[in-house]
Chains A and B, each alone.
Chain A
Amino acid sequence: MSAMRADELEIVEEEDPELNEQQFESRTPWRLAWRRLKKDRVAMVSLGFIVLLILVSLFAPLLTALIGHGPNAQYTTKGLSLSGIPVGPGHNGFLLGTDDQGRDVLSRIIYGSRISLEVGIGATFLALFLGVVVGLFAGYYGGFLDSVLGRFMDILLSFPILLLAIAIVARFGPSLGLLIFVISLFSWPYIGRLVRGQVISLREREFVEAARALGASDLRIMFVEIAPNLIALAVIYATLLIPVNIVTEATLSFLGLGVQPPTASWGNMIAEAQTGDLFTVAWWFLVFPCVALVLTTLAFNLLGDGLRDALDPRYGRSHISAARKVRRAFRLRRTLPEPEPVEAKA
C-alpha cells in the first residue's frame, strides 16, 4: 500500500500536465522541446529580439533609406551644432543623435548589426563544423588519434587567445574574412571537446553496435548514426558561442584590429567615441552602440540558457532534482505535501 502511494506521487511529480492536453499530436523530441521552450517566456522574448535583429540587418539599406540618413554620410550642418557638438537624440530627425562627425548613430547601429551577426554567426558555424568533425574523429577512434587531437585542443585552449588573434590580425591586415577565420580558429576547441565527450559515451551504445553488425563503415556510423545525436548539443552551444564571438569581434574592432572605419561596427563605433573626450558631453554616441551590443549578447545568452533546459531534458531534470534534494535535505520549501505516514500492514 505504502509502496503504491509513493509510486503514484513520483509519477505526478515528474509528469508535465500540459503534455497530456494534446494527446493526438505526434510527440517528436523536437516538438516536445519547442513546447518546453514556448513556455519559457524569457527565452521567447530573446528569440523575438534576435529575429528582429536579423530582419533589421537584412533590410538595413531599406531601413536607412526610410530614415533618410546613410550610415557614412556626414551631416555637418544638420548633425552638428555650431560649435561642432553632436546633435542629441530626437533632434533634427536623428532618433539616436549623431556622432562626432555628424553621422546618424541609428543608421550606423543598423549597419553595425550586419557586421556583428556576420562575424558572430559565420565564425560560430565554422567553429561548429571544425569542432564536430574533429570531436567525432577523436571520440570515435580514441587511442592515439584521440590523445593527439585532445592535447592539441587543450593547448589551443590554454593559449593567450586574444594576444595571438591580435598578432595574426596585425600581421595580415584586418579584413572581415580573416576576422571570421581567426575567431573560429580559437573557438572550435570548446565544441570539439564537448562533442568528443559525447561521442565517447555514444559509441558504446547498442545502436552503434547494431549498425556495425549490419556492416556499416566507420564513416557511416560517425556521420549517419552518431552525428544526429549531437544536434541538440550543437544547437545549445552554438547559441552560447555566438555572443562570445560577437564580443570578440567587438573587442578586436575596439582595439582597432577588426572592422576598419568608416565601415560601422559596434566595436569601432565605441572606439571612435572613446578617442575624443566629446562623449562626455554627448553620451549618446558612446552609450547606444554599447546598449545594442549588450542587448544582443544578453538575448543570445538567455536563449541559449532556455534552449539548454528545453533541448536537454537530462540536464534539466538532474538540475531540478538536485534543487529538490537540497530542499528535502534542508526542508526549505515544499511544493508537494509530504505523504502522510501510512501504518504498515502486517
Chain B
Amino acid sequence: MIRLIVRRLLYLVIVLVIITFLTYVVFFAGNPNNLAARFAGRDAGPAEIRDAAIRLGLNHGFWYQYWHYLVGLLHGNFGLDFQNAVSINSEIARAFPVTASLVVGSVILWLLIGIPIGIMSATHPRTLRDRASTTFALTFLSVPNFVLGLLLLLVFYYYLTRAGLSWFPAAGYVPLTQSPVQWLVHMILPWISLALIQAAIYTRLIRGSLLDVLGEDFIRTARAKGLSRRTVIYKHGVRAALTPVITQLGIDIGTLLAGAFVTEKVFGLTGLGQLALNAIGNEDLPVVAAVVVLAASFIVIMNTVVDILYAVLDPRVRLA
C-alpha cells in the first residue's frame, strides 16, 4: 500500500513537471517582448517596455523563469499575476469554492440519477425499461454541455420569469456562507446541466458492469444457496459492479475540478475555469500555469485515491 502511494506521488511530480514545462513552452513559443509591450501600456516607450519586462520577470531566459516558477511551486506559491500583480494564491482561493460547489453538488445529483437507472436497466435487460434508459443515456450523451445549459436557462429562467414565476435566478454565484438558500437556488440549474450528461454516462457504465457481474458464477451460487433476489443483486452484484464506476468517478471529479469551463461560462460562475479563460485572453501566463498545475494535480490525486479505494474494496487487488 505504501509502495503504491509513493509510486503515485512520484508519478504526480513527473506529470506536473511535464505539464508545467509544456505550458511554458506553449507560451514562450510566442514573443515575450510583445507581452511586455502589452503590459507596459498603450503609449509606452522602449524604456517602459524594458521596465515591464523586468517587472514581469521576462528579461531572464526561458530556463531561468521556468526554474524560478518550479521553486515557487515547491513553496506552495503560484506567484503574482501579470495583469494586476495580485497574488495568484488568493485568486485561486476565491475561485475554488465556486468550482467545488458546482462539482460536489452535481456529483451527488448524477450518482442519484445514474446508479438507480443503471441498476434497473441491468436487472431487466432487453425490456421496455432497459430500452427507455438506453434512449435517455444516448440522448444526453449526444447533447453538448453548453447546449443543455443554455436551453435550461432559456426555459427555466427566461420563459418561467416571463410567465411570472421567478423561481430560478439568471446567473452568478452566492457563497454558501452568505446565504445557503440563495446558494442552492443559484446552483440548481448548473448542477442539473452537468449532472444529466454525466448521469447518462454512468447509466451505461453501471448497466454494462452489473450485467457482466450478474453473469458470473458466484451470483449463480448465491442464488442457488437460496438468497433472495434482492440480496443477491444489491449485496453481491452491485457491490462488485461499482468498482469500475469508482474509477470513472475519480477521473471525472478530477477533470471537473480542473474547471468545468463551459458550465461556468454559461452560468456566469467565477470559478477556476473562468479564471483560466480570462487569463488566457489576457495572456497572463502565471495564472494559466497555476490553473493547469492545479488541474493536473486534481486528476492525478483523484487517480491515486481511486487506486487506494480499489485496493480497499476489492480483495483481489489488495492481495495481488
A251 touches B281 (CB 8 A): no
Residues of A within 8 A of B146 (CB): 250-251, 254, 270
B215 touches A160 (CB 8 A): no
Residues of A within 8 A of B220 (CB): 329
A158 touches B300 (CB 8 A): yes
Q: How many whole Å from B205's CB to the nearest CB in chain A?
A: 15
Q: A251-B146, A254-B146, A325-B214 are contacts. A290–B259 as well, Cβ < 8 Å?
A: no
A326 touches B280 (CB 8 A): no
Residues of A within 8 A of B265 (CB): 255
Binds A, one of B81-89, B124-132, B180-188: B124-132
Bin chain A's interface residue count. Answer: 35 or more
Residues of B within 8 A of A279 (CB): 154
A298 touches B261 (CB 8 A): no
Residues of A within 8 A of B270 (CB): none
Within 8 A of A (CB), among B3-54: 15, 18-19, 22-23, 26-27, 29-30
> In this complex, what residue of A is CB-closest to B158?
A280
- Bound Cα distance A172, B283 (Å): 12
| Interface presence of B122 (CB below 8 A) | yes
A323 touches B126 (CB 8 A): yes
| Interface presence of A19 (CB below 8 A) | no
Within 8 A of B (CB), among A259-304: 270, 274, 279-280, 283, 286-287, 290, 293-294, 297-298, 301-302
| Interface presence of B314 (CB below 8 A) | no
- Bound Cα distance A255, B280 (Å): 11
Q: Mark B150-174, 1 if CB is under 8 A from A, else 0.
A: 1100100010001000000000000
| Interface presence of A162 (CB below 8 A) | yes
- Bound Cα distance A176, B92 (Å): 33
Residue B125 contacts which of A162, A255, A270, A327 (CB distance < 8 angstroms)? Answer: A327
Q: How many whole Å from A184's CB to the nearest CB in chain B?
A: 17
A287 touches B151 (CB 8 A): yes
A255 touches B150 (CB 8 A): no
Q: A171-B27, A329-B223 are contacts. A243–B142 as well, Cβ < 8 Å?
A: yes
Residues of A within 8 A of B127 (CB): 332-333
B277 touches A255 (CB 8 A): yes
Count of inter-chain pairs, beta carbons less than 8 A: 128
Please, how many residues of chain B have a CB less than 8 angstroms from a CB on the other chain? 58
Residues of A within 8 A of B212 (CB): 322
B144 touches A298 (CB 8 A): no
Q: A322-B211, A326-B125 are contacts. A301–B19 as well, Cβ < 8 Å?
A: no
| Interface presence of B111 (CB below 8 A) | no
| Interface presence of B145 (CB below 8 A) | yes
B214 touches A160 (CB 8 A): no
A332 touches B142 (CB 8 A): no
| Interface presence of A166 (CB below 8 A) | yes
| Interface presence of A24 (CB below 8 A) | no
Q: Mark A190-230, 1 if CB is under 8 A from B, else 0.
A: 00000000000000000000000000000000000000000
Q: A283-B154, A286-B154, A290-B151 are contacts. A160–B296 as well, Cβ < 8 Å?
A: yes
> In this complex, what residue of A is CB-closest to B146?
A254
A326 touches B123 (CB 8 A): yes
Q: A322-B212, A326-B215 are contacts. A294–B26 as well, Cβ < 8 Å?
A: no
- Bound Cα distance A163, B19 (Å): 11
B215 touches A325 (CB 8 A): yes
B122 touches A290 (CB 8 A): no
> In this complex, what residue of A is CB-closest to B127?
A333
Residues of A within 8 A of B151 (CB): 287, 290
B280 touches A166 (CB 8 A): yes
Residues of A within 8 A of B123 (CB): 326, 330, 332
A251 touches B280 (CB 8 A): no
B262 touches A298 (CB 8 A): no
Q: Which of A155, A329, A333 has the most CB of B within 10 A?
A: A329
- Bound Cα distance A322, B124 (Å): 12
Within 8 A of A (CB), among B269-294: 276-277, 280-281, 283, 288, 291-292
B150 touches A286 (CB 8 A): yes
> In this complex, what residue of A is CB-closest to B237?
A326
Q: Which residues of A contact B (CB under 8 A)?
A: 155, 158-160, 162-164, 166-168, 170-172, 243, 247, 250-251, 254-255, 270, 274, 279-280, 283, 286-287, 290, 293-294, 297-298, 301-302, 305, 319, 321-323, 325-327, 329-330, 332-333
A sample of 7 inter-chain contacts (CB < 8 A) reads A170-B280, A255-B265, A298-B138, A298-B139, A319-B211, A325-B215, A332-B124
Q: Which residues of B contact A (CB under 8 A)?
A: 15, 18-19, 22-23, 26-27, 29-30, 122-127, 138-139, 141-147, 150-151, 154, 158, 162, 211-212, 214-215, 219-220, 223, 229, 251, 255, 258-259, 261-262, 265-266, 276-277, 280-281, 283, 288, 291-292, 295-296, 299-300, 303
Give the top 7 A-B pairs by smallest Cβ distance, nearest first: A160-B295, A323-B125, A298-B142, A325-B215, A297-B142, A322-B215, A160-B258
Q: A159-B299, A286-B154, A322-B211 are in contact. List 10 more A-B contacts (CB 8 A).
A: A158-B300, A159-B19, A164-B26, A167-B26, A171-B30, A280-B162, A286-B150, A294-B142, A329-B219, A330-B123
